[in-house]
Structure 1
Amino acid sequence: MKHSAENLPLPVAKLAITAEQAHQAIDQLSEAARPAVWRTAASAHQMVDRISGASDRVAQRLERTATRLKDAEQHLLGASRSYAHDNPLKMAGIALAAGFLISLLISSGKSTRGSAK
């Protein structure tokens, strides 16, 4: 918004000229700042693109790793079932030994707590 100082009293005219000069200075500053703003915006867009690309790559790697882990889990589960089916006596012995060890741990924990009282 430009002001004309032609038909104004002298003190008001000085203010109008000063206001006009201020408007021009603002316009000049905004024009001078525009390239810097554009460069900053372009850099910000590039950074967002880089981050987005990196996060996409990480997500794809995680998905592949999760698939491999699921496949390995299924393979181990199948192998365990097959081993248990082929060796039922060994599995019964392993289960009996595991149960015995667990009962020892539980009972030793109770006796330790009981003696501390």
Structure 2
Amino acid sequence: MTASSAEQLSKAAGKTVERVKADAHEAVETAANVSRQAAKVMGEKGEQMKHLEEQFVENCRNYVHDKPVTSLGVAVALGFLLSRLVSTR
């Protein structure tokens, strides 16, 4: 192998390394962008779930306040069913 051939090989390898490096950098940037977007969406969904939970609790409070006897009956029935499901005989 001549010095000229070795120099050409070295230049070609250098160009290949730079191209791979640029592609890897682009892939990392893409992954980071996707991760940021996913985190943003998860944050928004978390806020929506929190709001739904608050609405549910408020609706339950109102129902218990408006219909205390019915609420007590439902609670007793659910307690009975849960105890039957959980109990081991």
What range is the shorter-chain TM-score in?
0.7 to 0.9
| Matching residue within 66, 69, 82 for 1:89 | 69
Within the candidate set 38, 46, 54, 2:34 is matched to 54
Q: How far apart, CA to CA, are the structure 2 residues paired with 1:56 and 1:101?
A: 44
Counterpart of 2:45 (choices 62, 65, 72) is: 65
Q: 1:37 to 1:83 in 2, by over 3 A?
A: same
Alpha-carbon distance in structure 1 between the residues aligned to 2:35 and 2:15: 30
Per chain length, whose mean CA-contact separation is higher, i.e. which structure has more relative contact order (CA < 8 Å, sep 6+)? 1
Amino acid in the other structure paired with 2:9: L
Unaligned runs of 5+ in 2: none
CA-atom RMSD in angstroms: 2.2
Report deviation, 1:29.
2.6
Amino acid at match of 1:37: V
Q: Percent identical across equivalent pairs?
A: 33
The within-5 A match list for 1:36-55 is 36-55=16-35
Structure 1: 5+ residue runs without aligned partners?
A: 1-20, 111-117
Cα separation, 1, equivalents of 2:86 and 2:14? 74
CA 1:46–1:102 in 2, change beyond 3 Å: closer, same or farther? closer
Structure 2 length-normalised TM: 0.81
* 1:96 partner amino acid: V
Structure with greater Cα Rg: 1
